[in-house]
């Protein structure tokens, strides 16, 4: 369990740092449907799922500590203004993500992850765009939300498919043994 927690923490911190580094160096990326988003948006969406993994394997305090480390390291990867906007947006969004994820986790991982990502992603989008000085327009917000949505789908769908396959293999194996 400690190895899994360590991997989750490392992945989460890396996603926070990469989000800021890519945003600072690459500007805007297409995210589909004729929309664009800041280049780090996909990694920001991934960070919400990884934060959930840190909470599941290491607890809430580990998630908060990893967030703090990621924000500090980001200051070296982006402009000071971008790093501060990102730290504030991440901090607020990740805390709200935790508030949504924690009670829903008992009712299933996918439900909790998707719901908390929706809340965290929306808050992160508005806070980051406002604080970083990007225009808060319908197109900008839509692009950010679509990008974060893609990142959630890329993580949640393979996990659900993997769990389905494992469950079915066990059922087939159990049936074979019982026959």
What is the fold, at CATH topology level, of the domain defined by 2-178?
Answer: Arp2/3 complex 21 kDa subunit ARPC3 (1.10.1760)
pTM of this structure: 0.78
Distance of alpha carbon 85 from the chain centroid? 17
| pLDDT on residue 93 | 86
Measured at the CA of 124, the angle between CA 120 and CA 126, to 5 degrees, comes to: 125
| pLDDT on residue 178 | 63
- In this prediction, the residues of the chain whose per-residue pLDDT falls under 70 are 1, 174, 176-179
Show me where the domains of the chain are located: 2-178
Half-sphere exposure of 103 (CA within 13 A, CB side): 3
Residue 156, C-beta contacts closer than 8 angstroms, at least 6 positions apart: 49, 110, 113, 114
| pLDDT on residue 58 | 92
| pLDDT on residue 104 | 94
Query: Which secondary-structure segment (H or E) carries 137?
Result: none
| pLDDT on residue 106 | 92
Q: How much is the mean pLDDT over the chain?
A: 85
Measured at the CA of 77, the angle between CA 72 and CA 79, to 5 degrees, comes to: 95
């Amino acid at each position: 369990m400690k190895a899994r927690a360590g991997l989750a923490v490392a992945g989460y911190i890396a996603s926070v740092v990469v989000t800021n580094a890519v945003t600072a160096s690459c500007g805007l990326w297409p995210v589909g449907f004729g929309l664009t988003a800041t280049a780090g948006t996909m990694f920001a969406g991934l960070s919400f799922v990884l934060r959930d993994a840190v909470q599941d394997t290491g607890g809430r305090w580990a998630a908060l500590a990893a967030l703090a480390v990621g924000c500090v390291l980001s200051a070296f990867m982006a402009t000071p203004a971008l790093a501060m906007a990102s730290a504030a947006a991440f901090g607020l969004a990740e805390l709200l993500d935790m508030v949504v994820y924690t009670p829903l986790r008992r009712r299933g991982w996918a439900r909790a992850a998707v719901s908390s990502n929706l809340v965290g992603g929306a808050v992160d989008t508005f806070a980051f765009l406002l604080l970083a000085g990007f225009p808060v327009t319908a197109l900008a917000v839509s692009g950010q939300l679509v990008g974060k949505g893609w990142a959630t789908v890329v993580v949640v769908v393979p996990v659900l498919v993997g769990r389905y396959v494992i469950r079915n293999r066990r059922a087939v194996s159990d049936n074979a043994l019982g026959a």
